[in-house]
Amino acid sequence: MANKYIPVLLRHSPVPKVQHFALLAGLDASVRGMLISAMPLTVYDALGSAESVSQVYFIAGLASLCLGLMVPWGTRYIPRRWMYTLGTLLYILGAALAVHGSAVTVPLALMANAGATATTFVCFNAYVLDYIDRSNLGKAQSMNMVFAAAPWAIGPLLGVWLREVWAPLPFLAAGGLALVLLTTFWVLRLGNGKQISRARRPATNPLAFLGRFFAQPRLIAGWMFAVIRSCGWWVYVVYLPIFCIEAGLGDKVGGIALSLSNALLFVTPLMLRVATRLSVRRSVQGAFALCAAAFIASALVASSLPWAAVGFMMAGSVMLVVLDVVGGLPFLMAVKPSERTEMAAIYSSFRDVSGILTPGAAWLVLLVAPLPGVFAVAGLAMVGCMGVAGKMHPRLGSSRPSHGRLLPEDR
């Protein structure tokens, strides 16, 4: 009887809505947006060369990949809410290490931040797949980006400016924002997600679910799109600012370019509307084609027209934003309910794989070519994705035909 006097909000956890996940995405973007421009410059200052930066990012990517793949196994023993909490605490640890700014603590800070991103991303996607139905995944994706638009637009430029005022300042701000993210997560009371009954006993090996992934071509294609898209962002975020410094354009150009590109996130609902009208296949294929052309053009003019090279890279980033909107849908729409947590871990590994692939490839390219060669290699990888995207089902992401009528793309 006493329970009836307890407020409903305290007796029952509220059902999370699309806007709740968008709020978490926006706060996470606030943390990462502050770090994304300041961290490469800090690593470059601490280590002194683009090659050393590539080596450190390569090692950080390996560590993050291993951690991300272990998250589903870890959630069998640690509740998901505590796993997400651990991820946010890694953000705070990374910020504390980066404040010292030494050649030892800065690489450790980079690894902590990479681990934080991997952990929170796996848990976040598992929550989304638990509470958002398939028909609303596109809406959730676009709303997440709208909420993240301001942090991604302001954060990179603000991080560079704060770093100029006092080197530790952007990392102190990022640590404070991570505390806000953690507090908001607990206020929303997401718990441990929905419990899904399985037809067979869960695998004890944390890598056993990779077989299910490799048996589904749609998942492989969707994951590959995410990897190459992320590689494009890695090149844009890490190597474009270094190119600007080495070309004599200054250390602020990269942060300004990233902020301007991220401002496009405000129009992602419009991008989603146009993309779904064209079909997911055409949107993904066209975006990869245009982005590849921009990256390759940037590499060709970099030596003689560095400002034009920056302009081409910014043009390519427009298509990267389009891919952020629709590029993940082929994967997310193919996930089975009983494999949510495991496939969320697989999907989140695109960040870590791109974090290994990009600096690893750049490390090799820089042995034989100047920095713009990295832009060209990224463009060629996008050409490959364009070809794979052309083989996707033409109705992917579209409403099913009814009463014998055909969709526009089938006529």
For residue 196, pLDDT beyond 50: no
**Residue of 276, 256, 53 whose CA lies nearest to 157:** 256
Q: Looking at residues 355-367, what average pLDDT do you find?
A: 91
Q: Report yes or no on 7 lying in a domain.
A: no
Q: Report yes or no on 406 lying in a domain.
A: no
Query: Tokens representing 94?
Result: 């990374």
- Name the most confidently modeled range: 94-108, 254-268, 368-382: 368-382
For residue 341, pLDDT beyond 70: no
- Name the most confidently modeled range: 216-230, 272-286, 388-402: 216-230
406 vs 328 pLDDT, higher one? 328
Q: Would you say 125 and 4 are in contact if contact means Cβ atoms under 8 Å apart?
A: no
**Residue type at position 194:** K
- DSSP secondary structure of 241-292: HHHHHHTTS-SSHHHHHHHHHHGGGGGHHHHHHHHHHH-HHHHHHHHHHHHH
Query: Tokens representing 155?
Result: 């954060």
For residue 348, pLDDT beyond 60: yes
Q: Phi first, then psi: what are they for 39, rounded to 5°? A: -65, -50
Residue with tokens 């490959």: 384
pLDDT-derived band at 200, boundaries 50, 70, 90: very low
Q: Find the CATH number of the domain harbouring 190.
A: 1.20.1250.20
Q: Report yes or no on 369 lying in a domain.
A: yes
Q: Which domain, by its residues, includes 240?
A: 15-196+207-399
- Report how far apart, in Å, the C-alpha atoms of 150 and of each of 32, 154, 156, 180, 261 are: 12, 6, 11, 16, 11
In this prediction, residue 11 carries a pLDDT of 43
Q: Report yes or no on 410 lying in a domain.
A: no
C-alpha 268, offset from chain centre: 15
- Model confidence pLDDT, tens digit, residues 55-92: 999 998 888 888 877 887 888 888 999 999 999 999 99
The tally of domains found in the chain comes to 1
In this prediction, residue 81 carries a pLDDT of 92
- Name the most confidently modeled range: 108-117, 198-207, 215-224: 108-117
In this prediction, residue 251 carries a pLDDT of 80
Q: Would you say 94 and 113 are in contact if contact means Cβ atoms under 8 Å apart?
A: yes
